[in-house]
């Protein structure tokens, strides 16, 4: 039954993402309907993750010997990088004998651009957001990746069908996880906590500072959802000047109470220090604070904005071949499933889902309900529209910065 | 205080002591009285305590014990700016960001003098040091001698009754220094101010002073007018510090009417004035000025053999180094005139002196 | 006096040429002879500084010039759309787009898509008009299949091609040598018909930030002066041994890593931090109205003052050390009270140090961005943070270069003003 629901979800999502990301223009209503169906399907599929009828992992990937090779892997640091180290790096090092240098960054294409333009590319494989992946590809900053080299799923499904449909469309990137921007609070400091995204913007009912990422991305969407815009209308509204004004007006209502964060590791720290009463965050970071450090944080999933993370290989990477091997391994069924047991980001391969059971050190903590895509969490969710941001980020960033500074 | 005001000393150091570290005294029990209008020089090697005395008088150092009086009033607790004492510093201490005229106006402005008066007084002071045309210059645009004059004018412009000078000519070249000495002396005579002058240069002290206080080791060794100091030094330090001096060690064998009979260590008995030589049997150091030594035509009881080692022609006189009584640093100045003997190197001659010109003094430390 | 008389004496026997210039013994003009004899030593001196000169040129001057050049020159469009660029530049910006413009556009898009440069072009045009990025990337995908008439084909692919604004944005992007970025750096907009207009109110940011940066730098400079001057005075008037020891404390911020320092500030200043705890304990404030000392302008001011304090203390200290104590004594002996002696004699003598320290602190604060970024929160951001932002995040290097160029000009103007008012030779750095 698990397999069946998953395939259902897959086809639904294939439609949706295809429409939403690729050459879609025109029929929004149809796309949105498809998205809703997809969400329902994914929810069902992921709910089954805790079920435990995992199938045995097939020999999906064979390690070549890369003795003497080295790969520089760049990611976002903190608990997220740790999950990658545990699930990707360690087995890869053990299997191939290659060396891995792990570096942290804060997102964006600046460093990659600088390296490529200087002709001295020291990063071999980089974890980027979807919008950056598309942009890197368009601007020739990333190597094209032939998707046919990706190993088949553990259940024998061809890679092209195994990945959530549409996610392989970016020519130079391979997706790894589904993550989400949510907001969280400290349940010890706030007994009767917030329930909806509107509560986040209600400083009268829930007094205290708010943590927000210093970027318009996700903030504008959340502001509109809190202002009563349905998730599937958010980008329509944002496409007009009035909609942008409306979003900024909503942000304005809490501006004086905002503490801005930039690195993903900051929000749990802000919460723990009592610097903020609630904060937006990447869901995995909050989960990690709860699971690994026993922090009494609660995640509010209402109004979450979800996105993909992908690997890209910068154009002219010095260790391109080894990086490609690393990419193949780390996006294999088992590796993706392993990662999901370290942090609550959903794997992008359907065949990984059944292999994810519980948090690595706590058998009684099933990962399923922690995922952004779990049905309970997915009721009012919005996928980040990379195209909208690629088109409008200059203008919105500028306006956001002006708004911040004035 | 029963004496009339005019008899009171203008400046009076009364048992003043100074210590910086609580262990050693740099000034030991200083007693000094300076009359109004007097030019007194404190002379001594560096570290002798002379500058410290001046600074205590100016108010920049506090006396550790004792009291300093100015016109009969104790001033230990009067801050420097209320003492009304003019001061000329070693490196002039002109304010570099002010013009010459502004420097001179400064003491008048802080006394809240009217602007017109200030202008007149500044002009007069500049005239006094012949610097009339330099009012708008900055100190850095002046030569050392010019800066010196400005510093002098500044110390005098507010008409203090007492002016202190701390080695004011030390940085000038020899010619200019001598010229300035006369200038300062003339201004002193002209204005009638009391001057306390500190220097380590004896010729400067001799040229200008009414009286000289010779400092050594925190103590005044001798306080006397320049001629007395040179002609009649009280002790071996003064004799040695002021002018050139031949020294011959010996033992006092008799004293009669202030004249001591001294047995030289390597020579005959000679006579000298018993100034500071202790009782019969004590060791003494005879002191004779080189220009008072007679050569060949010696009259009187003091005769010694001299062996000419070196002759230096100096124009007005010939400087002759001889070996006398086993010491080869005996200097004789022979006037360059026909009636004096012409000496030749290697020659042996007779040297001698009048008893009044030879003083039997203490054995100063290091005098051997 | 005497100097003048020395100068007046010259040697009347020296031979001169027709113009009256002095000749050397062998008959060549003396000046020429002097130059010849100096040449060897000049060459040696030049040889000694040559490595440094090359280093400075290669690592400093040239990169800065290149960066400044980027502020007025952006050849992205011209390089990657070679057919379209000249035609677009020639277009008047008002008449309807021609078939020739459309044809060049389509052919260029086909090539750019193959060469993977269409993203760059799209990003460049998108800076002029939001939304054109997807227009370009989408249209480029279909361009290969388009056939004449191209204008109709483009408009069929996306109705935005019918909009004159789109073509105008392209015309601006097609001009490589452009004042557009400098205009943007002062919150203006360079339009297709070559005019400038101010940005809409809610998008103006840079001018305010420049002013704010100046004010913050001035405030930091003033705070450094007020805090640093007494410290420098104390250090300058203590015995060498003691002052050297205390100097270590002054220099400590220099030797602390940025992260340690920042962490320390956060621990000190945050609302649950040491300082606020003390305030609550003393009773200056209550537990629920703690002061916000970090992640705002206060945090920026405190942190920048702290880190820049040594730059103020050191020059003032070295100037004070060189002031002879006799100057103040002279003033006092001339009748000045302690305050008058300080204000009219001592203080003016320290102005070179204050000038050097002030200029140093001011110019450093203008360029500071890491500290404000870490502890400044939203309103503690300065212009340098935006330069960094455009360098690292938005990748709009041309705008960053324009902002940097303006900042450089401001600093040079300040330097010139300083030279006029205080005099640059009056500056003592130690």
Measured in angstroms, the CA of C7 and the nearest CA of chain B are apart by 15
Using DSSP's 3-state secondary structure scheme, residue C339 falls into helix
Measured in angstroms, the CA of B268 and the nearest CA of chain C are apart by 56
CB atoms within 10 A of CB A156: 11
Q: What is the pLDDT of residue A33?
A: 46
Q: How confident is the model at residue A5 (pLDDT cuts 50, 70, 90)?
A: very low
ipTM of the shown complex: 0.82
| C-alpha closest to that of A128 among A327, A310, A271, A331 | A310
- Smallest Cβ–Cβ distance between B97 and the set C324, C329, C349 belongs to C349
Average pLDDT over residues C259-285: 87
**Closest-CA residue of chain C to B81:** C335
Within an 8 Å CB–CB cutoff, is residue A113 touching chain C? Answer: yes
Using DSSP's 3-state secondary structure scheme, residue A189 falls into coil
Residue C352: its chain B contacts at CB < 8 A? none
Q: What is the pLDDT of residue B56?
A: 94
Please check whether residue C15 is in contact with residue C23, taking contact to mean a CB–CB distance below 8 angstroms. yes
Q: How confident is the model at residue B341 (pLDDT cuts 50, 70, 90)?
A: low
Chain C (100-159) residues lying within 8 Å, Cβ to Cβ, of chain B: none
Which chains are adjacent to chain B, needing at least 3 Cβ pairs under 8 Å?
Answer: C
Strands (E), B171-241: 194-199, 211-216, 219-224
Tell me which H or E stretch contains C298: helix C297-322
Range among A41-55, C291-305, C328-342 with highest mean pLDDT value: C328-342
pLDDT of residue B3 exceeding 50, the answer is no
Percent of chain B topping pLDDT 70? 96
Residue C349: its chain B contacts at CB < 8 A? 95-97
pLDDT of residue B34 exceeding 70, the answer is yes
Residue C271: its chain A contacts at CB < 8 A? 274-275
Residue A25: its chain C contacts at CB < 8 A? 138, 158
CB contact under 8 A, B87 and C1: no
**Closest-CA residue of chain C to A214:** C378
Average pLDDT over residues B105-118: 94
**Closest-CA residue of chain B to C352:** B97
CB contact under 8 A, A393 and C123: no
Q: How confident is the model at residue C428 (pLDDT cuts 50, 70, 90)?
A: low
Range among A26-40, A194-208, B294-308 with highest mean pLDDT value: A194-208
The residue of B21, B52, B54, B81 whose CB has the most chain C CBs within 10 angstroms, and thus the best one to mutate to test that interface, is B81
pLDDT of residue A360 exceeding 90, the answer is no
Using DSSP's 3-state secondary structure scheme, residue B251 falls into strand
**Closest-CA residue of chain B to C426:** B97
Using DSSP's 3-state secondary structure scheme, residue A101 falls into strand
Q: What is the pLDDT of residue C29?
A: 81
Q: Largest Cα–Cα distance of chain C, in whole Å?
A: 98
Measured in angstroms, the CA of B120 and the nearest CA of chain C are apart by 18
CATH of A64-178+309-369, picked from 3.30.930.10, 3.40.50.620, 1.10.10.60, 3.40.190.10, is: 3.40.190.10
pLDDT of residue C123 exceeding 70, the answer is yes
Measured in angstroms, the CA of A327 and the nearest CA of chain C are apart by 22
Q: What is the pLDDT of residue A26?
A: 37
In whole angstroms, give the CA distance from residue A13 to residue A35: 7
Tens of pLDDT, residue by residue over A384-398, are: 888 888 888 888 988
Q: What is the pLDDT of residue B363?
A: 77
Chain A (19-78) residues lying within 8 Å, Cβ to Cβ, of chain C: 23, 25
Q: What is the pLDDT of residue B346?
A: 87
Average pLDDT over residues A341-348: 89
CATH of A179-307+377-405, picked from 3.30.1130.10, 3.30.1360.200, 3.40.190.10, 3.30.1330.10, is: 3.40.190.10
Tens of pLDDT, residue by residue over A159-169, are: 888 888 778 88
Within an 8 Å CB–CB cutoff, is residue C307 touching chain A? Answer: no
Please check whether residue C109 is in contact with residue A125, taking contact to mean a CB–CB distance below 8 angstroms. no
Please check whether residue A340 is in contact with residue A358, taking contact to mean a CB–CB distance below 8 angstroms. no
Residue C265 burial by Cβ neighbours in a 10 Å radius (0-12, 13-18, 19+): buried
Within an 8 Å CB–CB cutoff, is residue A316 touching chain C? Answer: no
Residue A110: its chain C contacts at CB < 8 A? 391-393, 395
In whole angstroms, give the CA distance from residue B33 to residue C33: 68
Q: What is the pLDDT of residue A13?
A: 39
Q: What is the pLDDT of residue A126?
A: 96
Which has the higher per-residue pLDDT, A304 or C296? A304
Q: What is the pLDDT of residue C13?
A: 55
pLDDT of residue B185 exceeding 60, the answer is yes
Q: What is the pLDDT of residue B100?
A: 95
Within an 8 Å CB–CB cutoff, is residue C208 touching chain A? Answer: yes
Task: Annotate C15-56 with three-state secondary structure.
Answer: CECCCCCEECCCCCEHHHHHHHHHHHHHHHHHHHHHHHHHHH
pLDDT of residue C7 exceeding 50, the answer is no
Reading the block at residue A193, the tokens are: 């906590």
In whole angstroms, give the CA distance from residue B2 to residue B8: 10
| C-alpha closest to that of A243 among A230, A255, A256 | A230
| C-alpha closest to that of C66 among C406, C366, C397 | C397
Tens of pLDDT, residue by residue over C184-195, are: 999 898 888 888
pLDDT of residue A250 exceeding 60, the answer is yes
CB contact under 8 A, A394 and C392: no
Average pLDDT over residues C113-129: 88
Q: Could you tell me the residue ranges of all domains in chain A?
A: 3-48, 64-178+309-369, 179-307+377-405
Q: What is the pLDDT of residue A366?
A: 85
pLDDT of residue C327 exceeding 90, the answer is yes
Q: What is the pLDDT of residue C423?
A: 74
Tens of pLDDT, residue by residue over B243-292, are: 888 988 888 988 888 888 898 888 788 888 888 887 888 889 889 999 88
Measured in angstroms, the CA of A83 and the nearest CA of chain C are apart by 25
pLDDT of residue A4 exceeding 50, the answer is no
Measured in angstroms, the CA of B326 and the nearest CA of chain C are apart by 50
Q: What is the pLDDT of residue A28?
A: 42
The residue of A398, A399, A406 whose CB has the most chain C CBs within 10 angstroms, and thus the best one to mutate to test that interface, is A398
Measured in angstroms, the CA of B212 and the nearest CA of chain C are apart by 24
Tens of pLDDT, residue by residue over A99-124, are: 999 999 988 888 898 899 889 999 99
Residue B161: its chain C contacts at CB < 8 A? none
Measured in angstroms, the CA of A175 and the nearest CA of chain C are apart by 20
Please check whether residue B154 is in contact with residue B108, taking contact to mean a CB–CB distance below 8 angstroms. no
Q: What is the pLDDT of residue A60?
A: 57
Q: Choose the weakest-confidence range: A125-129, B59-63, C378-382.
A: C378-382
CB contact under 8 A, C348 and B97: yes
Within an 8 Å CB–CB cutoff, is residue C349 touching chain B? Answer: yes
Using DSSP's 3-state secondary structure scheme, residue B134 falls into helix
Within an 8 Å CB–CB cutoff, is residue A263 touching chain C? Answer: no
Tens of pLDDT, residue by residue over C133-177, are: 889 988 988 888 888 899 999 998 888 899 999 999 999 999 999
CB contact under 8 A, C381 and A405: yes
Measured in angstroms, the CA of C226 and the nearest CA of chain A are apart by 28
DSSP C112-130: HHHHT-HHHHHHHHHHHST
In angstroms, how far is the first alpha carbon of chain A from the final one? 56
CB atoms within 10 A of CB A216: 26
Which phi and psi angles does B268 have, rounded to 5°? -80, 180
Average pLDDT over residues B187-213: 92
In whole angstroms, give the CA distance from residue A266 to residue A277: 14
Average pLDDT over residues C270-283: 88
Reading the block at residue C11, the tokens are: 């040697």
Q: How confident is the model at residue C15 (pLDDT cuts 50, 70, 90)?
A: low
Residue C122: its chain A contacts at CB < 8 A? 138
pLDDT of residue B367 exceeding 60, the answer is no
CB contact under 8 A, B110 and C335: yes
Q: How confident is the model at residue C312 (pLDDT cuts 50, 70, 90)?
A: very high
**Closest-CA residue of chain A to C129:** A395
Reading the block at residue B14, the tokens are: 């009364």
- Smallest Cβ–Cβ distance between B86 and the set C333, C341, C351 belongs to C333
- Smallest Cβ–Cβ distance between A109 and the set C126, C378, C395 belongs to C395
What is the torsion angle, in degrees rounded to the nearest 10, for the CA atoms of residue C80, residue C82, residue C86 and residue C88?
Answer: -50
pLDDT of residue C340 exceeding 70, the answer is yes
Q: What is the pLDDT of residue C430?
A: 53
- Smallest Cβ–Cβ distance between B106 and the set C2, C324, C334 belongs to C334
The residue of C1, C4, C327, C330 whose CB has the most chain B CBs within 10 angstroms, and thus the best one to mutate to test that interface, is C330
Q: Choose the weakest-confidence range: B173-177, B186-190, C225-229.
A: B173-177
**Average pLDDT across chain A, whole number:** 83
Is there a common fold for A64-178+309-369 and A179-307+377-405? yes
**Closest-CA residue of chain C to B162:** C333
Within an 8 Å CB–CB cutoff, is residue A259 touching chain C? Answer: yes
In angstroms, how far is the first alpha carbon of chain C from the final one? 35
Measured in angstroms, the CA of A57 and the nearest CA of chain C are apart by 38
Tens of pLDDT, residue by residue over C197-236, are: 888 887 888 998 899 999 999 999 999 999 999 999 999 9
Q: How confident is the model at residue A49 (pLDDT cuts 50, 70, 90)?
A: very low
Give the CA distances from residue B117 to residues A55, B114, B123, B191, in Å, rounded to whole numbers and listed in that order. Answer: 110, 5, 10, 19
Percent of chain A topping pLDDT 70? 85
Residue C100 burial by Cβ neighbours in a 10 Å radius (0-12, 13-18, 19+): middle
Q: What is the pLDDT of residue A12?
A: 39
Q: What is the pLDDT of residue A377?
A: 87
Size of interface B-C (CB pairs under 8 A): 75
Average pLDDT over residues A43-64: 50
Tens of pLDDT, residue by residue over A120-141, are: 999 999 999 998 898 888 888 9
Chain A (172-191) residues lying within 8 Å, Cβ to Cβ, of chain C: none
Average pLDDT over residues A247-269: 91
Please check whether residue A367 is in contact with residue A355, taking contact to mean a CB–CB distance below 8 angstroms. no
In angstroms, how far is the first alpha carbon of chain B from the final one? 47
Measured in angstroms, the CA of B143 and the nearest CA of chain C are apart by 9
Percent of chain C topping pLDDT 90? 39
Reading the block at residue A268, the tokens are: 């749990």
Which chains are adjacent to chain C, needing at least 3 Cβ pairs under 8 Å?
Answer: A, B
Q: What is the pLDDT of residue A131?
A: 86
pLDDT of residue A68 exceeding 80, the answer is yes
């Amino acid at each position: 039954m698990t397999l069946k629901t998953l395939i259902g979800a897959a086809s639904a999502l294939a439609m949706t993402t295809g429409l939403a990301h690729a050459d879609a223009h025109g029929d929004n209503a149809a796309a949105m309907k498809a998205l809703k169906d997809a969400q329902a399907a994914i929810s069902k599929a992921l709910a089954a993750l805790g079920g435990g009828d995992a199938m045995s992992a097939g020999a999906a990937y064979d390690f070549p010997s890369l003795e003497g090779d080295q790969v520089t892997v760049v990611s976002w640091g903190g608990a997220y990088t740790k999950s990658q180290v545990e699930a990707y790096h360690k087995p890869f090092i053990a299997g191939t004998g290659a060396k891995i240098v792990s570096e942290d960054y804060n997102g964006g294409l600046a460093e990659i651009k600088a390296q490529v333009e200087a002709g001295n590319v020291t990063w071999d494989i980089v974890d980027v957001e979807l919008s950056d992946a598309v942009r890197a590809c368009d601007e020739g900053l990333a190597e094209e990746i032939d998707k046919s080299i990706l190993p088949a799923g553990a259940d024998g499904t061809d890679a092209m069908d195994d990945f959530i449909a549409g996610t392989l469309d970016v020519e130079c990137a391979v997706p790894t996880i589904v993550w989400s921007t949510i907001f969280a609070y400290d349940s010890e400091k706030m007994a009767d906590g917030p329930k909806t995204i509107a509560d986040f913007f209600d400083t009268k009912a829930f007094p205290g500072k708010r943590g927000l990422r210093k970027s318009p991305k996700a903030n504008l969407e959340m502001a509109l959802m809190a202002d009563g815009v349905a998730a599937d209308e958010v980008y329509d509204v944002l496409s007009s000047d009035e909609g942008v004004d409306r979003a900024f007006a909503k942000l304005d209502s809490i501006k004086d109470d905002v503490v801005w964060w930039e690195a993903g590791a900051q929000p749990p720290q802000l919460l723990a220090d009592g610097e903020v009463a609630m904060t937006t965050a990447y869901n995995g970071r909050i989960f990690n604070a709860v699971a690994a450090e026993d922090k009494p944080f609660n995640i509010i999933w209402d109004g979450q904005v979800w996105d993909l993370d992908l690997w890209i290989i910068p154009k002219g990477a010095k260790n391109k071949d080894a990086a490609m091997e690393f990419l193949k391994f780390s996006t294999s069924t088992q590796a993706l499933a392993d990662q999901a047991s370290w942090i609550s980001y959903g794997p992008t391969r359907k065949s990984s889902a059944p292999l994810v059971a519980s948090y690595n050190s706590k058998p009684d903590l099933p990962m399923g309900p922690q995922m952004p895509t779990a049905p309970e969490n997915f009721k009012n969710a919005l996928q980040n529209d990379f195209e909208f941001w690629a088109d409008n980020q200059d203008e919105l960033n500028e306006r956001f910065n002006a708004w911040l500074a004035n | 205080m029963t004496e009339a005001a005019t008899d009171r000393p203008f400046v009076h150091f009364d048992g003043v002591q100074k210590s910086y570290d609580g262990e050693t005294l740099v000034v030991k029990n200083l007693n000094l009285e300076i009359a109004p209008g007097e030019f007194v020089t404190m002379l001594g090697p560096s570290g002798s305590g002379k500058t410290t005395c001046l600074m205590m008088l100016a108010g920049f150092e506090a006396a550790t014990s004792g009291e300093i009086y100015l016109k009969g009033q104790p001033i230990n607790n009067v801050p420097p700016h209320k003492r009304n004492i003019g001061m000329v510093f070693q490196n002039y201490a002109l304010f570099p960001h002010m013009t010459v005229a502004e420097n001179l106006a400064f003491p008048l402005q802080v006394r809240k003098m009217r602007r017109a008066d200030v202008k007149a007084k500044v002009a007069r002071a500049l005239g006094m040091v012949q610097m009339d045309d330099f009012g708008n210059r900055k100190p850095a645009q002046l030569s050392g001698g010019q800066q010196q004059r400005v510093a002098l004018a500044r110390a005098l412009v507010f008409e203090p009754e007492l002016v202190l000078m701390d080695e004011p000519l030390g940085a000038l070249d020899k010619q200019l220094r001598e010229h300035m000495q006369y200038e300062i002396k003339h201004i002193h005579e002209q204005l009638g101010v009391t001057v306390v002058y500190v220097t380590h240069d004896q010729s400067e002290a001799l040229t200008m002073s009414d009286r000289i206080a010779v400092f050594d080791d925190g103590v005044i060794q001798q306080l006397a007018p320049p001629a007395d100091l040179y002609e009649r030094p009280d002790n071996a330090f003064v004799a040695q510090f002021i002018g050139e001096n031949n020294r011959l060690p010996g033992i006092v064998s008799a004293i009669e009417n202030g004249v001591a009979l001294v047995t030289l260590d390597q020579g005959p008995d000679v006579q000298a004035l018993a100034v500071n030589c202790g009782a019969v049997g004590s060791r003494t150091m005879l002191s004779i000025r080189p220009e008072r030594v007679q050569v060949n035509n010696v009259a009187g009881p003091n005769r010694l053999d001299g062996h000419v080692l070196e002759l230096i022609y100096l124009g007005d006189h010939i400087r002759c180094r001889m070996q006398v009584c086993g010491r080869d640093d005996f200097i004789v100045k022979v006037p360059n005139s026909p009636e004096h003997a012409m000496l030749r190197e290697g020659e042996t001659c007779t040297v001698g002196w009048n008893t009044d010109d030879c003083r039997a003094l203490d054995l100063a430390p290091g005098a051997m | 006096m005497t100097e003048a008389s020395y100068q007046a004496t010259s040697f009347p026997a020296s031979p001169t040429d027709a113009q009256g210039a002095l000749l050397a013994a062998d008959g060549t003009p003396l000046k020429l002879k002097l130059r010849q004899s100096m040449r060897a030593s000049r060459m040696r001196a030049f040889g000694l500084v040559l490595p440094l000169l090359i280093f400075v040129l290669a690592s400093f001057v040239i990169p800065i010039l290149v960066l400044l050049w980027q502020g007025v020159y952006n050849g992205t469009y011209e390089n990657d759309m070679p057919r379209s660029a000249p035609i677009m530049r020639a277009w008047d910006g008002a008449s309807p787009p021609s078939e020739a413009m459309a044809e060049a556009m389509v052919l260029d898009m086909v090539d750019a898509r193959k060469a993977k440069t269409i993203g760059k072009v799209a990003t460049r045009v998108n800076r002029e008009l939001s939304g054109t990025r997807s227009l370009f990337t989408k249209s480029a995908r279909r361009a290969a299949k388009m056939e004449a008439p191209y204008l109709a084909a483009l408009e069929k692919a996306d109705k935005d091609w019918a909009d004159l604004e789109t073509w105008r944005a392209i015309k601006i992007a097609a001009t490589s040598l452009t004042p557009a970025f400098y205009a943007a750096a002062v919150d203006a907009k360079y339009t297709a018909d070559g005019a400038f207009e101010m940005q809409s109110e809610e998008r103006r940011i840079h001018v305010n930030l420049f002013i704010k940066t100046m004010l913050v730098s001035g405030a930091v400079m003033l705070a450094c002066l007020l805090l640093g001057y007494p410290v420098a005075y104390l250090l300058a008037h203590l015995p060498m041994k003691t002052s050297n020891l205390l100097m270590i404390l002054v220099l400590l911020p220099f030797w602390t890593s940025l992260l340690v320092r920042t962490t320390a500030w956060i621990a000190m200043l945050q609302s649950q931090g040491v300082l606020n705890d003390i305030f609550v304990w003393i009773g200056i404030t209550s537990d629920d109205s703690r002061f916000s000392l970090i992640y705002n302008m206060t945090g920026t001011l405190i942190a920048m003052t702290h880190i820049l304090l040594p730059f103020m203390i050191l020059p003032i200290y070295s100037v004070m050390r060189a002031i002879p104590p006799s100057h103040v004594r002279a003033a006092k002996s001339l009748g000045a009270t302690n305050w008058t002696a300080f204000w009219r004699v001592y203080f003016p003598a320290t102005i070179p140090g204050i000038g050097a320290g002030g200029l140093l602190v001011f110019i450093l604060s203008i360029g500071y961005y890491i500290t404000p970024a870490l502890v400044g929160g939203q309103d503690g951001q300065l212009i340098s943070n935006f330069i960094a932002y455009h360098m690292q995040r938005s990748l709009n290097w041309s705008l960053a270069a324009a902002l940097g160029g303006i900042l450089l000009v401001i600093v040079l103007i300040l330097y010139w003003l300083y030279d006029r008012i205080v005099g640059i030779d009056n500056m003592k750095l130690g």
